[in-house]
Amino acid sequence: MSELSRGISQLAEALDGAQRVAALTGAGVSAESGVPTFRGDKGLWKGFEPQQLATPGAFSRDPAMVWEWYDWRRGLIAACEPNPGHRALARLEAELADFWLITQNVDRLHQKGGSQRVLEVHGDIWTLRCFEECGYQVLEERTGIPELQRCPDCGAPLRPGVVWFGEGLPEETLHQAGLAAATCQVFLVIGTSSVVYPAAGLADLAASRGAQVFEINPDPASRIRGVTVLQGPSGEVLPEVVAALEARRKGPRT
Ligand code: BV8
Ligand code: ZN
């Protein structure tokens, strides 16, 4: 039995016996849908420093340029469909009594793939809101809007509803994600380079409370002691994990 198949059956067994399960996903989960990752060779940040684009300072300095970069990304994402990894996570939510999906992704492909309970700790690219925080926000799913949009209530520029570097994460969402990580028995780290905090700290929190941590990534990055790595693309590994869990539940109780 290969290392990977051993990992898959270990994870299926752990999921089968857990009361609460939490998963943290990153850009790698959307890679097989065609959404470029942030730090891969064709990374979204290519040629740009994240601090150049994904910060409030960058937006106040040059809102049109930052807006254009997000509009380009929205166009990219709009052409992408959920992949088998997204769908497997939606099946996991249906199969498990208490499953929390925490995502750093802003593309909403988890929801498009059927997940209902998604904690978007870095916001989402389809919500626009007033840069001056006057309270205006709108769901804007049209793409190809190259020119900077203005707030209809106060005239300030509209910004994407994502969390930029140096900005706090949405409090209630982060609180729920922290609670899930602190009280789960199994924590999955899927498709993330685990470099961006506080999201990356959720796996440490889960491990510190005794959860079993599993990482699914072709290029594993987690530094959690005792992490079990399932080395492979999430679009292939996750469906096998869910199939193994479902087989355990259909077959005679072991
Ligand atoms: C905060 C939304 C405090 C926007 C993002 C200096 C200055 C300022 C801040 C800091 C600083 N030093 C440290 C910080 C903290 C900073 C941080 O952690 N920086 C890092 C870079 C060191 N964090 C913050 O600033 C956070 N806020 O700390 O605020 C505060 C508190 C209260 C009040 C005020 C302030 C905010 C962080 C959020 C930033 N926003 N995105 C947008 O999308 O444009 S971050 C961005 O990186 C994305 O959200 C992305 O999800 C996230 C993490 O990247 P990954 O998802 O992991 O993607 P990556 O490309 O890196 O990796 C892909 C992985 O997939 C790889 O491992 C690869 O192997 C794998 N993969 C590839 N293919 C597959 C696969 N896996 C599976 N299957 C495949 N097929
Ligand atoms: Zn406004």
Question: Do 123 and 105 meet the contact criterion of CB atoms below 8 Å apart?
Answer: no
Using the Cα atoms of residue 251, residue 213, residue 173 and residue 73 in order, give the sign of their dihedral: negative
Residue 93 CA to residue 91 CA, distance in Å, equals 5
For residue 128, the ligand closest to its alpha carbon is 2
- Tell me, yes or no, if 175 is annotated catalytic: no
pLDDT at 146 (0 to 100): 85
Q: What is the pLDDT of residue 120?
A: 98
pLDDT score of 1? 85
Measure the CA–CA gap between 105 and 89, rounded to whole angstroms.
Answer: 14
Query: Which pTM does this prediction carry?
Result: 0.96
- Ligand 1 within 6 A of 197 CB? yes
CA distance readout (Å), 187 to 19, 38, 67, 150, 212: 12, 23, 35, 41, 6
**Distance separating alpha carbons of residues 132 and 216, to the nearest angstrom:** 39
How far is ligand 2, taken at its centre, from the CA of residue 149, in Å? 11
Q: If 0-12 CB within 10 Å is exposed, 13-18 middle and 19+ buried, where does residue 27 land? A: buried
Q: Residue 91, by phi and psi: left (phi above 0), alpha (psi -120 to 50) or beta?
A: alpha
Closest CA to 191 of 228, 227, 231, 160: 231
**pLDDT number for residue 251:** 67
- List per-residue pLDDT tens for the chain, 254 residues long: 899 999 999 999 999 999 999 999 999 999 999 998 988 777 666 567 766 789 999 999 999 989 989 998 999 999 999 999 999 999 999 999 999 999 999 999 999 999 999 999 999 999 999 999 999 999 999 999 989 999 999 999 999 999 999 999 999 999 999 999 999 999 999 999 999 999 999 999 999 999 999 999 999 999 999 999 999 999 999 999 999 999 999 866 55
Q: Which atom of ligand 1 lies closest to the CA of 44?
A: 60
The CB of 131 under 6 Å from ligand 1? The reply is: no
Q: Is the CB of 108 under 6 A from ligand 1?
A: no
pLDDT at position 45 is 65
Q: Which tokens go with 241?
A: 């994990």
45: Cα within 13 Å, side-chain hemisphere = 12
The answer to whether 191 and 236 are in contact (CB under 8 A) is no
